[in-house]
Each structure stands twice: as C-alpha cells, then as structure tokens.
Amino acid sequence: MRQINTEEITDTIEKICVDANYNLGDDLVVSLQNALNKEESPLGKEVIAQILENAEIGKNEQVPVCQDTGFAVVFVEIGQEVIIEGQSLQEAINEGVRRGYKNGYLRKSIVKSPLDRVNTGDNTPAVIHTDIVPDDKLKITFIAKGGGCENMSRTAMLTPAQGRNGVIDFVVNTVKDAGANPCPPIIVGVGLGGTFEYVTLLSKKAILRPVGSHNKDNNTANLEADLLEEINKLGIGPQGFGGKITALAVHVETYPCHIASLPVAVNIECHSHRPKSIVI
Amino acid sequence: MTEYINLKTPLSDSDVEKLETGDKVRISGILYTARDAAHKRLVEMIESGKDLPIDLKGQLLYYVGPAPAKPGYEIGPAGPTTSYRMDTYTPTFIKMGLKGTIGKGGRSEEVIEAMKEYKAVYLAAVGGAAALIAKRIKKVRIIAFEDLGPEAIRELEVENFPAIVVNDTKGNDLYKTGSDKYKIPS
C-alpha cells in the first residue's frame, strides 16, 4: 500500500485552483486560434481575438482570465492501493480551495444556503466526486466552473423511440435556447445513458476531455461531429453577435442504460474553460 | 472595424437615441456596478420608500462582480455577468431615468419595451475578457452594500470602456439580427 498525506493533497489543490484560473490550457488556445481562422463574421473574429489577448494577459500578468473564478469542482481518482493519511479527504480538498482562492486573489462566489444566499467567504465547499481505480496513485482534476454557462445546462429523460435524432434535437435546442448567455464559443459536454444522476455527471466528465478530442467509439465520434455541425449552423457565433463558431467542440460520453430509458444531459462550458489535473 | 462612438457619462436621451444596434462604443466617465443581490436590495429600498445610495438618472449600470485586486492593481478582472437574471428589476430602474445597462446575453421583452418607451440602451461587453476589460477601469470605490463582497455596488471610473450596442431605443436586437445573418437552415 502507498501512503499519501492529506497535506500534499491540500497543497496540490491550492496550486491547481490558481494555475487553472490564470493559465488557459494549450488545447483550448489552439482551438480558439483555429476558430479565429474559420470565423467569417468580422465582429466574431474581433471577439475571438480579444479572448486570445485576454488569455495572454492572464498568463503574462498571472491574473485570473475571468472574474467568475468558478465553483471548485474536484474529481479525485483514488488508487485502491493508496492509503490516505491525516485529516478527512473532504476537509483537505476544501482547505486547498480556501487557500488557493484567498492567496490567488480569486473571487469567492459560493453562498451557504441556496435561499438565504450568504457568501461563505472562501469559495468553499467544493463539489467533490471520487472514483476508486485499480492503481497506487491519486489523480486530482480541478475545474473552475462558471455560473453563467452552468445555468444554461439541461438534462432530459428521452424515450428509446426518440433515438439519435431526439438526442440531436435536445442538444441543439439547449444550445439554441442558451444563445449568448453562456459566453460562446462554448464547449458542449454531453452525457448519454446511465441513470438520471449519472448522465449529468457524464456530461461534466465529457467537458474534461482535451478540447476537440474524439470519443474512441466510432458511432459516438460521428454523433459528436454531427452535433458540432448542427450547433454551428445556429449562427449564434462568438458572444452571440452572429457567426459560424458557436461551439469549439462537442464531447459525448456514454454509459449503458435501462431498456425503458434514454437519458441525455448537456453541460455547457464557456470559452474560459479551466480544468487542471495532477497525479500524485 | 475601428469606428467607435465615444460616450461620456452621464448620458442624455439624445446620446442614447443616436445609438444603433451593432454600434461599437467606448465609454468614459462613471459606471455603477450591480448584480443579483444588489438589484434585490435596491428594489426593496424603492418599495419601502427609502432613498437609493446612487442616483440612477442618466447613468449606466454594469452587471459585474469583480475578482479581488492583486497588489499593484486598482481592480481584479471585471467582465460582464449574464443579464437576464436582472430582467425582473431593470424596468423599474429605467423608469427612474437609468440610460442603459451593460452585461452579456439577451433581455426580456419587458426590458426591451421599457428601453423603447423610456429611451435606454443595452450594451454587451465581451464575457470572459475580464483581465482585458479591467485595464479600462481606472478607479474603483465601494458605494453601498459592502457586506455583499463581489456583489457590492461599486463606482467605476472608466476610460474607453469597450462595448457593443445590442438593443437600441428602437427595439432592435443584435442577438436576433446577428444570428439570423449566419444561420444555416437544416
């Protein structure tokens, strides 16, 4: 068994919260550069150029790229040969978020009660998802999830008869209804299958794939390509001002489902896509 | 693509009436920030007959909750938040003389109608370009509701703050005309 102390987990979380918010990934930047070349709308081009310039400022000045530094969503893959020592894993993660958001000058955007709406003051608690995997490592993935795009996300329980076309209609209509709100050009994470709660988790995991990567299953990869084409026919464009590039990528993740069900979830991600992973 | 209309706040009816959907503007002067929680409190103050901490006449409200400023910076990143969440409150402010709002994303029919009737405009700043936008903010001062943290009302002194006209005073909407132009029927 391999021992990992929670202090190391806290330090890692603190570091990646800040890193994710200051430094956009190369996969995203390349995707935005390609979008700049493909966009036909002059205003759309101007918007993408500003987004790229903004990313440069984040990197060069080490400041957050967006004022909404997000809900801290943390995925932990725990190797089954790992023993976690120290405090609780949950508290270790929250302490890392607390430190990262304070020391990194990130905005505190979490309210304690959904109805009373008093700010917790330190951006905790994080939303934490854990998976047990068969190795002796701990993989931590952090994503700063903005509120504006999260608000535009949807889940539906379709009937098996609705099939592939039903899925395409639901995903495209979700993006259409979102319009300019979620800060296009967006990344569209789609979950397909599983159960009501699991399909939503799949859609968030779909977002975490490298931007523009394809599902290993050919049929699913074809669905991704068809969805991207249909979404970019909507004309919404960068910031909704009109244009060819409404989405940079569509990622679909699937899971087996019940004979009665066809669950589909769409998690919309803004162009300030801020995931970071570290393996301990 | 470099023709900008310069706006200096406070704004008059004729300043906003000459603006058209799709115009690019550069704003200098004062912007007041307010988002969800501050809007709720302002409307509650109006309903209970209290004086507001800001005079809305001729002003622009910017929907933003900035990130904290790093040492050496006047303000942290400060891009727009999504505007529709303020739709239920906005007509009240427009009737009181507010000349415009700045955010991102579409507005309700009620807000668009109020803008037509009382002469106001809706402007969009580029969502997510928050570090870039912050460079146009020269001074910041908290005016009210400090306990709301990022949601407090701030007075921003801005120079050449970039925005684009989405809804003009004639009821036009860039989000409709823009997407119609690039839409491909399936």
Task: Tell whether A155 and A79 lie within a shared domain.
Answer: no
Is A129 a domain residue? Answer: yes
By C-alpha distance, the chain B residue nearest A47 is: B126
- Which of these three, A86, A110, A145, is where a domain ends? A145
H/E element, B179: helix B174-182
Residue A243 pLDDT class (50, 70, 90 cuts): very high
Task: Tell whether A181 and A73 lie within a shared domain.
Answer: no
- Percentage of residues of chain A with pLDDT beyond 70: 100
Spatial contact of B182 and A237, defined as CB atoms under 8 Å apart: yes
B132 touches chain A (CB under 8 A): yes
pLDDT at A83: 97
Task: Tell whether A80 and A127 lie within a shared domain.
Answer: yes
* DSSP secondary structure of A144-180: EE-HHHHTT-EEEEE-GGGHHHHHHHHHHHHHHHHTT
Is A238 a domain residue? Answer: yes
| Cα separation, B11 vs A176, whole angstroms | 34
Task: Tell whether A138 and A153 lie within a shared domain.
Answer: no
Is A174 a domain residue? Answer: yes
Tell me which residue in A69, A240, A244 faces B175 most closely, judged by beta carbons.
Answer: A240
Per-residue pLDDT tens for A84-115?
A: 999 999 999 999 999 999 999 999 999 999 99
Interface of B with A in 2-61 (CB under 8 A): 22, 37
Task: Tell whether A6 and A139 lie within a shared domain.
Answer: yes
Report the number of distinct structural domains present in chain B: 1
Task: Tell whether A134 and A9 lie within a shared domain.
Answer: yes
Task: Tell whether A193 and A222 lie within a shared domain.
Answer: yes
Residue A121 per-residue DSSP state: S
Report the number of distinct structural domains present in chain A: 2
Tell me which residue in A40, A237, A272 faces B128 most closely, judged by beta carbons.
Answer: A272
* Short-list A71, A269, A253, CA closest to A185: A269
| Cα separation, A235 vs A39, whole angstroms | 11
Tell me which residue in B1, B127, B151 faces A183 most closely, judged by beta carbons.
Answer: B127
- Which of these three, A109, A128, A145, is where a domain ends? A145
Spatial contact of A121 and A108, defined as CB atoms under 8 Å apart: yes
Is A32 a domain residue? Answer: no
CATH number at B54 reads 3.20.130.10
Task: Tell whether A202 and A244 lie within a shared domain.
Answer: yes
Task: Tell whether A162 and A120 lie within a shared domain.
Answer: no
Least confident of A25-34, A183-192, B2-11, B157-166: B2-11
B104 and A181: CB-CB below 8 Å?
yes
The range of the structural domain enclosing residue A260 comes to 148-272
Amino acid symbol at A197? E
B39 flagged as catalytic: yes
Per-residue pLDDT tens for B36-87?
A: 999 999 999 999 999 999 999 999 999 999 999 999 999 999 999 999 999 9
Task: Tell whether A247 and A172 lie within a shared domain.
Answer: yes
pLDDT at B2: 57
How much is the ipTM here? 0.96
Radius of gyration of chain A (CA): 19
Beta-sheet pairing, A274-279 with A138-145 = antiparallel
B174 touches chain A (CB under 8 A): yes
Spatial contact of B87 and B110, defined as CB atoms under 8 Å apart: yes
Task: Tell whether A158 and A140 lie within a shared domain.
Answer: no
Size of chain B, expressed as the number of residues it contains = 186
B96 touches chain A (CB under 8 A): no
- Phi, psi at B26, each rounded to 5°: -125, 120
Task: Tell whether A211 and A133 lie within a shared domain.
Answer: no
Tokens of A13: 């979380």
Tell me which residue in A50, A58, A236 faces B179 most closely, judged by beta carbons.
Answer: A236
To the nearest whole Å, the CA of B136 is away from the closest chain A CA by 13
To the nearest whole Å, the CA of A136 is away from the closest chain B CA by 38
Which of B182, B183, B186 is the best residue to mutate to test the A interface, defined by the most A CB atoms within 10 Å of its own CB? B182
* Own/partner long-range contacts of A116-120 (Cβ < 8 Å, ≥24 apart): A117/B37, A119/B148, A119/B149, A119/B150, A119/B151
The range of the structural domain enclosing residue B37 comes to 5-182
Is A197 a domain residue? Answer: yes
- Which of these three, A102, A117, A145, is where a domain ends? A145
Spatial contact of A57 and A67, defined as CB atoms under 8 Å apart: no
